[in-house]
Amino acid sequence: MTSTDTGLDGSPYQQYLYAYPHKTSYRALRPRPLLADVWRAEAREALFLYVHLPFCEMRCGFCNLFTRAHAPQEQVTAYLRQLRRQAEQVTDALGDVGYARAAFGGGTPTYLTADELTELFDIATTTMGARLPGVPLSVETSPATATPDRLAVLAAHGTTRVSIGVQSFLDVEARAAGRPQRREEVEAALGAIRDAAVPVLNIDLIYGIDGQTARTWRASLDAALAWRPEELYLYPLYVRPLTGLGRRAHARADWDAQRLDLYRQAVQILGAAGYRQESMRQFRRADAPTPDGPDYCCQDDGMVGLGCGARSYTTALHHSFDYAVGVSQVRAVLDDYLARPADDFRYAEFGYRLDDTEQRRRWLLKSLLRAEGVDAAAYRARFGSRPTDDFPQLGRLVERGWATDGGLRLTAAGLARSDAIGPWLTSAEVRAAMTGYVPR
């Protein structure tokens, strides 16, 4: 099993591989398989429920997620109504299931009013059968929508983690990233989250913004640390097609070096502050509580996606609805979702079929890009072979000093290059499908 090319000598910032295969490799499934058939042979006692709300109060300049800004109220109302219809069909197709984790993302779930959030929880619990409270639940929010009334609904339903996209505590940098906001609004939102007593607060920050320096990056890190968040996610800035920043010229000869320097600075500062690095992006406070809940393994257990923009994962098929980034195309996909008859939700629409080789590659990638690395015994129990035999190219990471344990655990230098190592290990088939995708 080999990758398509070295890819290790180029930019360390090639692609964030938060899922494999990447969504741009998905294609229309013809004929459309019935969800009941897709899930029939799957273990369903420990699934992840993901609900997607494709609405935001603004469209950030770096964002390529499936979301619409300033949606009219009637569309939000229609979306929740359609979401329940989809939930009914999905529940009927899956039969008896158990959810071990849940997340509401987007978009911005707290774009919904408090009453609408209550309806969303009813869909997740009454219709889908998720135990909320009862299993760990993460909800994304924004400075403008993290209001006490909304947070009260989240807390009442057992939300264990709230993630807020701050990006920068400096107003000028936030504007440079295409996210106009005021520091006062950010601090008020963080105070409201702490008042709601949600166990885990995560703060997202971005480095590599135009005009950002080591001094201003330190200022944002210090401002975040003042809130003692249980988690911090640090994202290198990417400029992607069809986004606000993507329409600007944004190429600097020293950009890779700058982002690497700011990343290393953050690793040092957060380590000294008592944070344990879990991946290139995730840092967790060493004394932070771990929410109780059923066991869940992201390498092995499936995910059920609900809503336009959500993805579902089974062993051999990852599937979703159509994907778009451009404003007009997002609205067209949303309109199609809202116009669907209920019976249409009985089928998988777009996806990628994973053969045995791709299943092994996904398992490897979901482990290797984490600080703890690959559990060779668990891999062998699942696939009957050793990961180093299936992926001998891992030895090249050891030669570079980017991995240890035969290539199964990244070093600090390797973690810093996760966004190059992930694409390097992507299969030729997935890479070809991604290359053939036309951004819309």
Same domain, 191 and 91: yes
Determine the pLDDT at residue 247. Answer: 53
Same domain, 240 and 378: no
- In the chain, the number of structural domains is 2
Last residue of a domain, one of 246, 263, 285: 285
Determine how many CB atoms are found less than 10 A away from the CB of residue 369: 24
- Residue-wise pLDDT tens for the chain (440 aa)? 544 445 799 999 999 988 999 999 999 999 999 999 999 999 999 999 999 999 988 777 666 677 888 899 999 999 999 999 999 999 999 999 999 999 999 999 999 999 999 999 999 999 999 999 999 999 999 999 999 999 999 999 999 999 999 999 999 999 998 888 999 999 999 999 999 999 999 999 999 999 999 999 999 999 999 999 999 999 999 986 655 565 554 557 799 999 999 999 999 999 999 999 999 999 999 999 887 777 777 878 899 999 998 999 999 999 999 888 888 888 999 999 999 999 999 999 999 999 999 999 999 999 999 999 999 999 999 999 999 999 999 999 999 999 999 999 999 999 999 999 999 999 999 999 999 988 77
Same domain, 235 and 384: no
Residue 170 located in a structural domain:
yes
Among 141, 230, 226, 138, which residue's Cα sits nearest to residue 187? 226
Contact 202, 229 (CB under 8 A): yes
Residue 205 located in a structural domain:
yes
Residue 106's domain spans which residues? 25-285
Same domain, 255 and 364: no
How far from the centroid of its chain's Cα atoms is residue 44's Cα? 22
Same domain, 364 and 240: no
Residue 196 located in a structural domain:
yes
Residue 302 located in a structural domain:
no
Determine the pLDDT at residue 358. Answer: 97
Same domain, 269 and 189: yes
Determine the pLDDT at residue 76. Answer: 96
Last residue of a domain, one of 285, 318, 337: 285
Residue 209 located in a structural domain:
yes
Determine the pLDDT at residue 3. Answer: 47
Same domain, 365 and 272: no
Does the pTM exceed 0.85?
yes
CA distances to 9, 21, 74, 298, 382 from 365, rounded to whole Å, are: 19, 10, 41, 11, 15
Same domain, 256 and 374: no
Same domain, 248 and 366: no
Same domain, 211 and 85: yes
Contact 313, 362 (CB under 8 A): no
3-state secondary structure of 72: coil
Residue 294 located in a structural domain:
no
Residue 330 located in a structural domain:
no
CATH number for 160: 3.80.30.20
Same domain, 265 and 363: no
Last residue of a domain, one of 251, 285, 319: 285
Which residues lie closer than 8 Å to 288 by C-beta, 6 or more apart? 200, 230, 231
| Mean pLDDT for the chain overall | 93
Q: Determine the Cα–Cα distance for residues 399 and 376; give it in Å rounded to an integer.
A: 20
Determine the pLDDT at residue 323. Answer: 84
Determine how many CB atoms are found less than 10 A away from the CB of residue 328: 9
Contact 404, 411 (CB under 8 A): yes
**359's tokens:** 């299943």
Same domain, 230 and 373: no
Residue 183 located in a structural domain:
yes
